[in-house]
Chain A
Amino acid sequence: MIFHPAIIALLLGSILISFMLLYSAFYGMQILKGWNIKSGSELQLSLERRTYLISTVMNYAIGFQLLSLFLFIYTADYLHTLFVGAMCAAGTLNVNHWGYPAIMMKVINFLLAGLWLILNYTDNRAYDYPLIKKKYGLLLFITPFIVGETFLQSAYFLSLKPAIITSCCGTLFSSETQGVTSGIIALPRPPIEAGFYSFMALTFVLGVVFYWNGKGGYLFSLTSIATFLVSVIALISFICLYFYELPTHHCPFCILQKEYRYVGYLIYITLLGGAVSGLGVGMIMPFKKINSLLNVIPSLQRKLTGLVLISYAIFLGTVFLQMIFSNLKL
């Protein structure tokens, strides 16, 4: 194992987060069993006090989770010098078969955690905690994912040994090697470009419609998450090329490096932010009819929609700027 301080920090952080989640899940089960808002009994009062603790713990856990996602990528990128053939994070992650699953899990957990925060926020605005059981059910669902991530990340770091031959993103992300990513590059570019622009446009149109008159929420939510996926594919397929000014450099991780002014962080934050907000809109839709949430949900959904539109707009703006001023012309 490599004793780099950032690795120690990540491992410690993820163990702490897992503990926080397990703790919350334990008390969440108590709440699911004994919650009764109508009762004034001491059990109920202590359960209500306990929800404050769990809210606080989850808020911190999710904040740390987000930080650790970026620290993880940064570390993977930084460590590439230790492995033969690795030119950036893509190579480092490929050193053993835990790397890519770990990062996928981190992204999924970020989305799940963000969704939980939205659900928690909604529930707290109502005067009778209408979503409390669903909220803690979701918490119990998320916990194994977070603990799983700790395992994957630990397995990845613990089996990292320097100077192992790995593939550089050049070979990983070129069309000769097998794999999903090379499959993406092998796809002809025009349909992906068309798909990207149409999904983006659709998201904006549906978003504005939903913001105006509240119609088509589910459709908007689905479209926004689909746009997220299409954008990632588009990044690998052709957008990255403009940043690297090289028609063969498809790696999505190199844009996080200093040479490209860390623009990758902006791109991923806006994409992830848009994805979570979009998913959130759809997630709270079924609860619109609940009495205590009648005033809460529509305004929250509009705020989330606004977030989606702004995030994706910033993303598009960044991409367009680069495409216009890039030395590469495709």
Chain B
Amino acid sequence: MAKWIERQRNIIDFTLSSLLRRKRKNIALIFVYIVVVFFLASVLFFTYSIKKEASMILQGSPDMIVQRMVAGRHELIPISHIDKIKGIRGVSSVKERLWGYYYDPIVGANYTLIVSDDSQLSVGKIIIGEGVSRTRLLFEGDAMEFKTYDGAIVDLEIESTLSQKSELVSSDLIVISGGDFRRLFGTPEGYATDLTLKVRNSRELPTIAVKIAELLPDSRQILRDEILRTYDAVFNWRGGIMMVILMGALLAFIIFAWDKASGLSLEERREIGILKAIGWETSDVLLMKFWEGMAVSLSSFLAGVIFAYIHVFFASSMLFEPVLKGWAVLYPHFKTVPFIDASQIIALFFLTVVPYTVATIIPSWRAATVDPDSVMRS
């Protein structure tokens, strides 16, 4: 056992020194390797962390949302339905919910307005999100102008701004009182945007949803789990599409690696010939090539992952900003919380180190099977 360890140690020693001797050739390869790992890892980390945050946030959303559909579109729902739903066994609370979108022509942004029954907001006061505040340069105490559905102008005072920590979801949010909401949008009394439900036992959700469908045939029931799954699927899909696009870069990298591995310089060929001649066996040379690959792979992988981590979790993925921002006017300043786990690292490993290793197997073998007596004959 000790012999085996010493043998590895000796060969690793020699491998590292020979890598250092050929710095120039390997630098280009390592640079490209790091860049490839960096991009793949950034995409992975970013999508995963957003997914995690979204699912954490959604935990606080209602168990079920009931909306009224007319001709396939979402319409206002009568508040009187609440009594009908309350009677269903297993439902612990039913509440009305008012929310909508407001277009601000000054900056060309869409705000989400919501009536919260938690905060005791008095009429005439609003709470705005960071993004709104930043774009309109409005702060606590300022007045914000709104145009109502019938053309009148309403001034609402900003009571406070939502915390920066919640920017990812609240950037474009405005919390408003019920009275002001109805004044702005003209939503008649007795109607709400939708209804939210809490149930006692989440396992009953599908049954309750079925009962509501029977009771209110023109409604649709949205379960929180369905939302979670849909978000998950969308993020997976987005992340996956990016990966597939990056496959092109990956393929180019593999071809580059193959080429580098196959293109043994005269010097290298001679060196291996000498090793074979003085007593190294093919499997010793193969071992050396293995450690060479490992040294290159592991250092590039590590560096790429670390840079990606810094990029995503400290620099807010700024390289992806153009892609993510799209047409968004209110782009949130958010710091994603570091969420990584072993499966991401292993997946990254399979996507980068494994193809690289496979591409270099045959060139390494060709190099290692040089005849020992070739050195004598030359």
Residues of chain A whose beta carbon lies under 8 Å from any beta carbon of chain B: 2-10, 12-13, 16, 20, 49, 52-53, 56-57, 60, 64, 67-68, 70-71, 74-75, 78, 81-84, 162-163
Within the assembled complex, what's the spacing in Å between the Cα atoms of A104 and B359?
29
Chain B contact residues (Cβ within 8 angstroms of A): what range?
Answer: 35 or more
Residues of A within 8 A of B243 (CB): 3, 5, 8
Closest to A8 in B: B243
Residues of B within 8 A of A163 (CB): 226, 229-230, 233
Q: Is B315 an interface residue (CB 8 A)?
A: no
B361 to A5, Cβ gap below 8 A? no
- The listed residue with most B CB atoms (<10 A of its CB), out of A2, A6, A64, is A6
A20 to B358, Cβ gap below 8 A? yes
Of the residues B343, B361, B368, contact of A6 by C-beta under 8 Å: B343
* Whole-angstrom distance between the Cβ of B246 and the nearest chain A Cβ: 10
Q: Is B222 an interface residue (CB 8 A)?
A: no
B347 to A71, Cβ gap below 8 A? yes
Closest to B358 in A: A16
Q: Among the listed stretches B28-36, B65-73, B319-327, B349-357, which one makes contact with chain A, having 4 or more residues with CB under 8 Å of it?
A: B349-357
Closest to B357 in A: A60
Closest to B286 in A: A56
- Interface of chain A, main secondary structure: helix
B362 to A81, Cβ gap below 8 A? no
* Whole-angstrom distance between the Cβ of B223 and the nearest chain A Cβ: 9
Q: Is B163 an interface residue (CB 8 A)?
A: no
A81 to B347, Cβ gap below 8 A? no
A52 to B239, Cβ gap below 8 A? no
* Whole-angstrom distance between the Cβ of A13 and the nearest chain B Cβ: 5
B347 to A6, Cβ gap below 8 A? yes
Given A3-B237, A16-B354: A81 and B228 interface contact (C-beta under 8 Å): yes
Q: Is B241 an interface residue (CB 8 A)?
A: yes
Residues of chain B whose beta carbon lies under 8 Å from any beta carbon of chain A: 40, 43-44, 47, 55, 225-226, 228-230, 232-233, 236-237, 239-241, 243-244, 282-283, 286, 342-344, 346-351, 354-355, 357-358, 361-362, 364-365, 368-369
Residues of A within 8 A of B244 (CB): 3, 8
B236 to A3, Cβ gap below 8 A? yes
Residues of A within 8 A of B349 (CB): 9, 67
* Whole-angstrom distance between the Cβ of B116 and the nearest chain A Cβ: 28
Within the assembled complex, what's the spacing in Å between the Cα atoms of A62 and B48?
29
A2 to B233, Cβ gap below 8 A? yes
Of the residues B55, B233, B350, B351, contact of A162 by C-beta under 8 Å: B233
Closest to B370 in A: A49
Within the assembled complex, what's the spacing in Å between the Cα atoms of A56 and B244?
29
B350 to A67, Cβ gap below 8 A? yes
Closest to B239 in A: A5
Residues of A within 8 A of B348 (CB): 5, 9
* Whole-angstrom distance between the Cβ of B342 and the nearest chain A Cβ: 7
Residues of B within 8 A of A75 (CB): 343
Within the assembled complex, what's the spacing in Å between the Cα atoms of A53 and B40?
30
A71 to B346, Cβ gap below 8 A? yes
* Whole-angstrom distance between the Cβ of B324 and the nearest chain A Cβ: 17
A78 to B343, Cβ gap below 8 A? yes
Residues of A within 8 A of B362 (CB): 53
* Whole-angstrom distance between the Cβ of A134 and the nearest chain B Cβ: 21
- CB-defined A-B contacts under 8 Å, sample of 7: A2-B236, A4-B236, A6-B347, A12-B354, A52-B368, A75-B343, A84-B229
Residues of A within 8 A of B236 (CB): 2-4
Within the assembled complex, what's the spacing in Å between the Cα atoms of A68 and B347?
9
* Whole-angstrom distance between the Cβ of B134 and the nearest chain A Cβ: 33
Within the assembled complex, what's the spacing in Å between the Cα atoms of A64 and B349?
10
Closest to A74 in B: B343
Within the assembled complex, what's the spacing in Å between the Cα atoms of A67 and B352?
14
B354 to A64, Cβ gap below 8 A? yes
* Whole-angstrom distance between the Cβ of B345 and the nearest chain A Cβ: 10
Of the residues B232, B282, B350, contact of A82 by C-beta under 8 Å: B232
Within the assembled complex, what's the spacing in Å between the Cα atoms of A106 and B361?
24
Closest to A67 in B: B346
Given A12-B351, A52-B282, A60-B357: A4 and B240 interface contact (C-beta under 8 Å): yes
Residues of A within 8 A of B237 (CB): 2-3
Within the assembled complex, what's the spacing in Å between the Cα atoms of A300 and B112?
71
B346 to A5, Cβ gap below 8 A? no
* Whole-angstrom distance between the Cβ of B203 and the nearest chain A Cβ: 10
Residues of A within 8 A of B369 (CB): 49, 52-53
Of the residues B225, B282, B355, B365, contact of A16 by C-beta under 8 Å: B355
* Whole-angstrom distance between the Cβ of B181 and the nearest chain A Cβ: 33
B241 to A3, Cβ gap below 8 A? yes
- The listed residue with most A CB atoms (<10 A of its CB), out of B349, B354, B364, is B354
Given A6-B347, A12-B350: A162 and B232 interface contact (C-beta under 8 Å): yes
Of the residues B225, B346, B355, B361, contact of A84 by C-beta under 8 Å: B225
Residues of A within 8 A of B233 (CB): 2, 82, 162-163
Residues of B within 8 A of A13 (CB): 350, 354
Within the assembled complex, what's the spacing in Å between the Cα atoms of A6 and B239?
11
